[in-house]
Amino acid sequence: MSAHRTWLLGVALTVGTFGAVPANGQEYFGKNQVEYRHFDWQVIETEHFLVHYYPDERVAALDAARIAERAYARLSRILHHDFREKKPIMVFASRADFGQNNVTGDLGEGTGGVTEPGRDRMLLPFTGDYRSFEHVLTHEMVHEFQFDIFQRGHGPGSALQSLSQVNPPLWFMEGMAEYLSIGPDDPHTSTVIRDAALNGNLPTMTQMTRRPDLYFPYRYGEAFWAYVAQRWGDDVVGAILSDVPAMGIERAFRLETGQSLDDLGDQWREAMQVQHLPQIASLERPRHFASPLLSTRRTGGEIFLAPSLSPDGKYIAFLSTGSFLRGQVFIDLWLADARTGKRITRLVKSTFDPNVQELQILYSQSAFSPDGRLLAFTALGQGKAPDGRLLAFTALGQGKELLYILDVARRKRIGRIELPLDGITSPSWSPDGHRLVFSGDHGGITDLYTVNADGSDLRQLTNDKYADLQPQWSPDGSTLAFATDRGAPANLAMLRFPRMRIALYDVATGRIELLPNQAGLNINPMWAPDSRSLAYVSNRSGIENLFLYDLNTAQQYQLTHVVGGVTAITEVSPAISWARDADRLAFTYYENGDYSVWTVDNPRTLAREPYRDGPPAGSPGRATPTGWRSRTTKTAITPCGPWTTRGRWPASPTVTARRPR
């Protein structure tokens, strides 16, 4: 069992955990927990929820209340179940704030949210964009429905006995939560299933149940539930869930589908092979156009994420585990030779460093300065108390998300920038090396900011509720490229959140322009050396691939047609880097269950004919299960779809703000 699969299971167990948290669980660990902020909790009361928030996040919390009611309207219809009492939802402005909650304690940076069966409450932080926040909130709400159904009307906490008796497997619980929060077509999950089909690794139901460490229950479970719903409709999901507390998993599936679970699993495996294997003949492996750089064989260790090339192409910074025999089993920041892939040194020991606790392995990547001397990265570090003293870390103590500057040659951190923000991700240097642009969170809302390399002169560039992520400064200094959910058909008042697209910010005027013709999800822009084209990751073809936009011709080009995926842990995790002086591009690639890093010189030579939209690869003729509308319709902007059966967007749900008693 590989180390990174074990780590992924840890994410699975925490992002949507349904394990009980004992009432005295914080008594041992919580005594010394550091709190650098004191939350003044208030409550927004809606028809079905009590949304707990603190003043800094009020604007985002009001939107969260509306999102929750929309998700409830659809889930209650699909699952044929209604809550008898209002369920509490606790929202936090950032990952750092969420980590210092005293309900569960810090469950690690892979934790996207928690649902407690013993207290019927959901806890989650804002993610930086409303679309992914809605995904996490809906995922946790599915768990809330599951627990409520297991309780059979006996009140909070009564689900625990029923859950322990049935012991539903992770693919059942987490897969259902993913399917009902994402929908029938998910390119990120398709990458995992296609890879498993190609390598003869599609599991049986017994294998999925017994080995969630090998068969990631989020992805495999989601694909299985999508198949079941495609055949019998979404209503069967609710029917099976309703039956399970009384008769167990196997009998519930047999009653509602007429199939044994094993037979149904065999049919699912065959369907996945029929769906995914035919397209493989037209796809390619990276060895046909790129060179391997970071892998277990060349570099040692497991899992290679967030690559960042130095401008001259000689070095690469990345996130990875190291030697198991040397105890390097945690994901840390490393430096390697960008030609041979050989490790040079470990730059940051996040787990054992008292000053750096987490490296934001899901959403951020480091950045070399234009001269290659310095490396900027973000991490949870020591926050300051109101009197300016540094706070110490404890087992569950949390600091703040900070911006660090590291001298690469000396392997020494020389800068520690603390800003009045809740979160900081994805720094990028200006061409003169004097300033940095980054994505900053405040009150659950993300905007673009710049700051001098010495921490002075913080400036906010955007100021709205749209998500602005992964900014990159152009080599000529005139433009910032970033991923955002702004622009038509976005409508925040109507809770319409399109998928991320690449936009340009004019540094002189502040004008924002969306690149044209961007179907699917588009993230992680990287500038070409001449500032006239952009590489980025897009799943518009149904597979996560490298694309290029030419600013001179305004044309899009698909650079790769891979059989795996240019992707990392989540669908919005950074996966590419472009060395401007060397004209060399590095990318994270998923294949055979592993993440490795490959490189290609002068990637613009991969451009052939301009890209033309066509049917997505991987889902030819696939039916849309009931309860989901096609995402080409105007009402299907969010992962939850419309919240009325007629697809109309109702007015905002009534909310009443009050302080808790």
Query: Do residues 537 and 601 both lie within one domain?
Result: yes
Query: What is the pLDDT, as a whole number, of residue 18?
Result: 36
| CA dihedral (514, 128, 176, 85) positive or negative | negative
Query: Do residues 99 and 119 both lie within one domain?
Result: yes
Query: What is the pLDDT, as a whole number, of residue 655?
Result: 53
Give tens-digit pLDDT for 56-115: 999 999 999 999 999 999 999 999 999 999 999 999 999 888 888 777 766 777 778 999
Residue spans of the chain under pLDDT 50? 1-36, 385-398, 618-654, 661
| Residue pointed to by tokens 């920038």 | 417
Alpha carbon distance 406, 376 (integer Å): 6
SS3 assignment, position 123: strand
Question: For residue 277, how many other CB atoms are within 10 A of its CB?
Answer: 12
At residue 79's C-alpha, the angle toward residues 78 and 84, to 5°, is 125
- Environment class of residue 518 by beta-carbon count within 10 Å: exposed (0-12), middle (13-18) or buried (19+)? buried
Query: Do residues 298 and 435 both lie within one domain?
Result: yes
Query: Do residues 450 and 534 both lie within one domain?
Result: yes
Domain presence at residue 34? no
Query: What is the pLDDT, as a whole number, of residue 107?
Result: 73
List, in sequence order, every residue forming a beta bridge with 441; answer none if it has no partner: 423, 446
Domain presence at residue 52? yes
Query: What is the pLDDT, as a whole number, of residue 326?
Result: 81
| CA dihedral (71, 652, 85, 52) positive or negative | positive
Query: What is the pLDDT, as a whole number, of residue 296?
Result: 94
Give tens-digit pLDDT for 343-365: 999 999 877 776 787 888 888 99
Instruction: Domain of residue 541: give its range.
Output: 286-606
Domain presence at residue 31? no
The maximal CA–CA distance of the chain, rounded, in angstroms, is 67
Task: Specify the number of domains making up the chain.
Answer: 2
Query: Do residues 218 and 303 both lie within one domain?
Result: no
DSSP 421: S
Query: What is the pLDDT, as a whole number, of residue 24?
Result: 26
Query: Do residues 494 and 580 both lie within one domain?
Result: yes
Query: Do residues 486 and 583 both lie within one domain?
Result: yes
Report CA-CA distances (Å) from 254 to 81, 167, 242, 243.
Answer: 21, 18, 13, 11
Residue-wise DSSP of 247-280: HHHHHHHHHHHSS-HHHHHHHHHHHHHHHHHHHH
Domain presence at residue 615? no
Query: What is the pLDDT, as a whole number, of residue 155?
Result: 64
Query: Do residues 359 and 313 both lie within one domain?
Result: yes
Q: Which two tokens stand for residue 27?
A: 């008594």
Q: Which two tokens stand for residue 635?
A: 């009402």
The CATH number of whichever domain residue 406 belongs to comes to: 2.120.10.30
Domain presence at residue 468? yes
Cβ–Cβ under 8 Å, residues 394 and 360: no
N-term to C-term CA, the chain: 49
The CATH number of whichever domain residue 114 belongs to comes to: 1.10.390
Query: Do residues 61 and 97 both lie within one domain?
Result: yes
Query: What is the pLDDT, as a whole number, of residue 629?
Result: 36
Query: Do residues 274 and 339 both lie within one domain?
Result: no
